[in-house]
Amino acid sequence: MSLTLPRTPSFFLAGKRAFVPGGSRGIGLGCATALAEAGAHVTIAARSDGQVAAAVDALRAAGFKADGLALDVTDLAATEAAVAAMGPLDILCNSAGLARHTPALETAAEDFDAVSNLNTRAAYFLAQYAARGMDRGGSIIQISSQMGHVGGPDRAVYCGTKHAVEGFTKAMAIEWGPRNIRVNTVCPTFVQTDLTAATFDDPDKLAWVESRIKLPRISTVEDVMGAVLFLASDASAMVTGTSILVDGGWTAD
């Protein structure tokens, strides 16, 4: 008697349309590259024309399908129009984010508003706008943070915004599951990018990070890319309303 072996679901994204806000550098560029490398046509967005153009040129030079636009996703009217103009999306990978770290007793209202407007408000409505057009299903991925699951010194506002993302992701997954729209988060630890250079250049902060990560190294952008590809692809067809912690074991204790 012969057995029919199961087949591993595909990680390929050929024919898929993906939108990556915040995709011009750092983790966002890594996300865009992972999706494009798997065959998706990727549109990246950021506020800087120059950064968008440089990222698109690099992706195209590597043989990938990519375009981009200058967009401030906190401008909800402009963002809604941009998403509608793209036509139906298969994948939204939102990596746009902001951090302004201060002790909680010293938080300024303008910093609270700036971080919340991008990390929570814009993320919420980006998901809404993308989901409206996903008539054939799709995958919505929010680049959250390990700080959406724990707390940290000087990070009350940032932690609050990321905890909010974790909460509305679960609620959206429940609402949109019947439409075959999956909604998940990827939660990295501290990742080596230009934006985190100041943290890693500070010996005390570096020691704190290294003391919490259980694996014997600092995380890189490449560590996030595989998780994003998994959630974007059919390999995660039964995964929704949850988070993938790419944190080196930070939240294990």
Domain boundaries, the chain: 17-246
> 36-88, pLDDT tens digit by residue?
999 999 999 999 999 999 999 999 999 999 999 999 999 999 999 999 999 99
Whole-number Å distance between alpha carbons of 94 and 124: 10
Q: Rg (Cα) of the chain, in Å, rounded?
A: 18
pLDDT in the model for residue 85: 97
pLDDT at 27: 98
Cα–Cα distance for residue pair 253/249, rounded to 1 Å = 8
CA separation for the pair 224, 247 (Å, rounded) = 10
Mean pLDDT of the chain: 97
Distance CA 67, CA 131 (A): 21
Around Cβ 69, how many Cβ atoms within 10 Å?
17
What is the pLDDT at residue 194?
86
The per-residue pLDDT for 198 is: 86
158 included as an active-site residue: yes
pLDDT for res 120: 98
> Looking at domain 17-246, does it have CATH number 3.40.50.720?
yes
pLDDT at 148 over 90: yes
CB 140 within 8 A of CB 184: yes
- In this structure, the number of other CB atoms found within 10 A of the CB of residue 134 comes to 20
pLDDT confidence of residue 247: 98
pLDDT value at residue 206: 94
> Choosing from 158, 176, 190, 250, which is the catalytic residue?
158
Q: Is the pLDDT of residue 241 over 90?
A: yes
Distance CA 85, CA 17 (A): 13
- Whether the Cβ atoms of residue 50 and residue 24 lie closer than 8 Å to each other: no
Mean pLDDT for 23-44 is 98
The two three-digit tokens of residue 152, written as one number: 């940290």
Mean pLDDT, residues 90-117 taken together: 97
